[in-house]
Structure 1
């Protein structure tokens, strides 16, 4: 430390008072309100005492008042570590997100329905493949069109029921700091929703393990099972054991649903022979047109 440096005695009800700071020091207004913490105070007198910080000190409290020789409190030296600490403080102590509960539930209803519809149709596909191998004669005699319509009807009905149950039981209470729609749902619905999806997708995983179907079918079942089963299991176990998974992890169920859709698209693109050949022909035609031009 410099030999000519002094430390002022704190005044009554004013906090530490510092009158000058050299080029090595940071000057901040500690008592100003409603202004940026990094805004330098240039007013006269100790009424709003600034804080000078030694940039070179290490291992000491960075907020310790310090005086030293120099041009005074108009110095525009900014200490990077103090600014970083200020930004981190704003990020941690700033205003939390606070979504409108009614609109959050309404915008999430398609996701609630889609997850159930996806799960039911995945079970229907898995059972269809299983019945083809377990009872081949009965499978050939069955009207598969009726089976498809019945599966779609059950899936849509169950999905709409889930969406209605979600909306009419929602308390519509603000949940500050939570960005997942699950935080705004009724606790009973969250328990039913998570546990039911968990068991439905567990059935898919079991049937998939028993079915020796073609590569595309198995890939679709595994993609749907993993992307929907794991988030559903996490949500179901969280409700069973009283864990706030939605508040901690955010909208992980919706992310799993999106990953399932993208994964199924890539599976059909790269594994379905007709689709793959069509894409190859389109690419070849485009390359030919570019070469011609």
Structure 2
């Protein structure tokens, strides 16, 4: 009778270790891949002055989060044990703060990217008139502000109590914060899914009518975010709200793994889908070559350009 719980605990501990090792791998991949994109921005091969500003913010956010969360993951792995894990709540509180902040920032930037594509595809006249840099800057400030609110709530609701066999920040916070956090993440997830569906529907319609593929990178990034972050977060929030079952206690750093996976896949999608554009240019920047994705039989006229690329 006593072997059942012991076996379940052993399997749970292995899941913790697997999740943490996965986070290390995805974190390194996110740092390397996004550093390449950041290098392209600094060398002026990518122009951050227009609709690529959101991509720049996504890149910086993914790098900073991967670097900031590494101490927590390394701490989990270093003090992992085959019998049980007992992490220090003071240490978890001091090194686990990046998760609530960057989860909201990432969700906000994904929503912003989807909103920008909706404007470009459905309301091109409005899209041409708006100041992309200004709007992206405002979006980033709002995302950071909301992320700070979540972080403050998380710290305020933190329970400095011993939690045996639990390898996640979510195990150490009050139930009220977990309810708020889950509800807000669920709301963000639903909004992003609905906005993404509008983008996918319009892109599919344009592709079917004219035979050209537009906004490939945006669609790829949105799909990556949906499957790596938004949908898993939505399901976790729904399951915990309805059944009370905690994914944190079962799999450990689930949200960290999802966020790092999203950052890693986004940079790979960005580099892969735009590799063909880079190979066709010599001295021009990617932002100049991006207009080749807009199909037109007329000579190029910058005043009538609707979308710069599918890079954003």
User: TM-score, structure 1 length as denominator?
Assistant: 0.60
Which aligned pairs between 1:59-138 and structure 2 lie closer than 5 A?
A: 95-138=83-126
Q: Which residue of 1 aligns with 2:186?
A: 198
Q: Displacement, 1:118?
A: 0.3
Residue 90 to residue 136, structure 1, CA distance change in 2 (3 Å): closer
State the Cα deviation string for residues 238-284 of structure 1 (Å, max 9, x = none).
33121122111211111111111110121012111377539xxxxxx
Q: Residue 225 of structure 2 aligns with which residue?
A: 224
Q: 1:89 and 1:122, CA in 2 relative to 1: closer, same or farther beyond 3 A?
A: closer
Residues of 2 paired with 1:128 and 1:102: CA distance? 41
Partner of 1:167: 155
- What's the secondary structure of 2:96's corresponding residue? helix
Query: Which residue does the alignment assign to 1:142?
Result: 130
- Runs (4+) of structure 1 moved beyond 2 Å? 87-92, 273-278
CA distance in 2, matches of 1:276, 1:195: 42
1:216–1:271 CA contact under 8 A, matched in 2: yes
The verdict on how the C-alpha distance between 1:114 and 1:275 changes in structure 2, with shifts beyond 3 A counting, is farther
Q: Which residue of 1 aligns with 2:27?
A: none
**Residue in structure 1 matched with residue 264 of structure 2 by the alignment:** 262
| Greater relative contact order (Cα < 8 A, sep 6+) | 2
Deviations 1:79-108 (A, max 9, x none): xxxxxxxx979958x742110112113211
Please tell me whether Structure 1 or Structure 2 has the larger radius of gyration of its CA atoms.
Answer: 1
More helix as a share of residues: 2
Render the CA deviation track for 1:9-38: whole Å, top value 9, x for unaligned.
Answer: xxxxxxxxxxxxxxxxxxxxxxxxxxxxxx
Distance of 1:131 and 1:147 partners within structure 2: 13
* Deviation per residue, 1:91-143 (Å, 9 max, x gap): 58x74211011211321111221111000010011011101222211221112
8 Å CA contact 1:171–1:186 kept in 2: the answer is yes
Aligned residues: 192
Contact 1:190 1:239 in 2 (8 A): no
**Which deviates further from its counterpart, 131-140 or 145-154?**
131-140
For residues 10 and 140 of structure 2, the distance between their equivalents in structure 1, rounded to whole angstroms, comes to 47
Unmatched 5+ stretches in structure 2: 1-5, 12-81, 204-213, 281-312
The CA distance in 2 between the partners of 1:89 and 1:254, in whole Å, is: 23
- Tell me the equivalent position of 1:272: 274
Q: Contact 1:269/1:276 (CA < 8 Å) preserved in 2?
A: no
Mean Cα displacement is larger for which, 115-124 or 225-234? 225-234
Taking the aligned partners of 1:246 and 1:223, their CA distance within structure 2 comes to 22
Q: How far apart, CA to CA, are the structure 2 residues paired with 1:194 and 1:167? A: 16
Moved more, 150-159 or 127-136: 127-136
How far apart in 1 are the matches of 2:87 and 2:8?
23
Given the superposition, is the C-alpha separation of residues 276 and 172 from structure 1 closer, same or farther in structure 2, using an over 3 Å criterion?
A: farther
Cα RMSD after superposing both structures: 2.6
- For the 8 Å contact 1:205–1:222, the answer to whether it is kept is no
